[in-house]
Amino acid sequence: MNSFTPFSALLGGVIIGLSVVFYFYMTGRLAGISGIFENAITKASQRLSNLAFLLGLVIGPLIYFNFIASSAPVVFNITHSYLLIIPGGFLVGFGTRLGGGCTSGHGICGIGRLSTSSIIATGIFVAIGMLTVAVLQQFGIYL
Amino acid sequence: MNDKIISLICGIIFGIGLVISGMTNPEKVIGFLSITHNWDASLIFVMGGAIITAGPFFYFLKNKELSALGDKINLPIKQNIDKKLIIGSSLFGIGWGLVGLCPGPAISALATFDPITLVFLISMAAGVLVKKNTIK
């Protein structure tokens, strides 16, 4: 059921990397999404700029589906129950801010800058994510 | 150009990259995290592609003091490898494994206008605010 798609994954990754670089070059800030999200909802300074980035994250897929992709592939297929969605969302918000970054902040910007703490953080959240999925599968959730 | 327009453009490019890469599809992410069963390694290429693209630029730009828009470059101070980093990243890993969405894709998912994405996002905002107000 899971198909291996290395080319689209690599292309998407390169595009994300270009966005991160352009953002850093122009503004001097790192495009860590959990940090931008926290600042957008808690800080008055640069709020409009942070909200503009988040708005772009929503507009990007709309542009892609309406003007670039000929047919919309299956994405955003959230089929879980609220019993997973609500604690999952909470832990993502709480955990990324406690740990100082998410997949973009630690995984891309941090590793891209060869930061030891980001390499460790990324190793931890990927490993724990894998463990979580394995445990859920043991209980018959997902597969 | 001002930084709001730049931010918007960067967000749009980032969002397009997320969709093309498959990161916005929780099933795909769970397939990547499902290392013991039908493992789909694709997402390694997402992170790999982004790091290989951004890494050299960070290296060449690392001594710059001002951004192109004239702002002071604001790099995070060296983060300690401490309890916060380890526990925070672990909790994030659990949440990521439960749903298959990390913060960027969670926001991009609003493009579907599916109310369930809003539930995830509100829960995520609650997590951010609880952290902000309880732990310095």
Average pLDDT, chain B: 93
Q: Which residues of B6-33 are buried (b: 16+ CB within 10 A; e: fewer)?
A: bbbbbbbbbbbbbbbbbbbbbbbbbbbb
Q: Do A55 and B8 touch (CB under 8 A)?
A: yes
Residues of chain A in contact with residue B19, where contact means CB-CB under 8 angstroms, are 12, 60-61, 64-65, 75
- How much is the pTM? 0.94
Distance set, CA A6 to CA A13, B49, B65, B67, B116 (Å): 10, 10, 37, 34, 29
Name residue B72's beta-bridge partners. B66
Closest CA to A99 of A76, A79, A113, A119: A119
Nearest to B120 among A88, A107, A112 (CB): A88
Distance from CA of A74 to the nearest CA of B (A): 7
Residue A143 banded pLDDT, cuts 50, 70, 90: very low
Residues of chain A in contact with residue B98, where contact means CB-CB under 8 angstroms, are 80, 84, 87-88, 91, 132, 136
Q: Complex ipTM, two decimals?
A: 0.95
- Work out how many domains chain B is built from and give that number: 1
What integer is the mean pLDDT of B93-103?
Answer: 96
What integer is the mean pLDDT of B1-12?
Answer: 93
Contact between A142 and A133 under an 8 Å Cβ cutoff? The reply is yes
Residues of chain B in contact with residue A27, where contact means CB-CB under 8 angstroms, are 3, 6-7, 67, 69, 71
Q: Do B91 and A19 touch (CB under 8 A)?
A: no
Q: Do B23 and A6 touch (CB under 8 A)?
A: no
For residue B109, the Cα-to-chain-centroid distance in whole angstroms is: 13
What would you report as the CA-atom Rg of chain A, rounded to the nearest whole angstrom?
17
Q: For residue B9, give both structure tokens.
A: 């453009």
Q: What is the pLDDT of residues A49-88, one digit of tens each?
A: 999 999 999 999 999 988 887 655 545 556 668 888 999 9
Spatial distance between the Cα atoms of A31 and B75, rounded to a whole number of angstroms: 11
Q: What is the pLDDT of residue B72?
A: 85
Range of the domain at B62: 2-134
Residue A142 banded pLDDT, cuts 50, 70, 90: low
Closest CA to A110 of B106, B54, B67, B17: B54
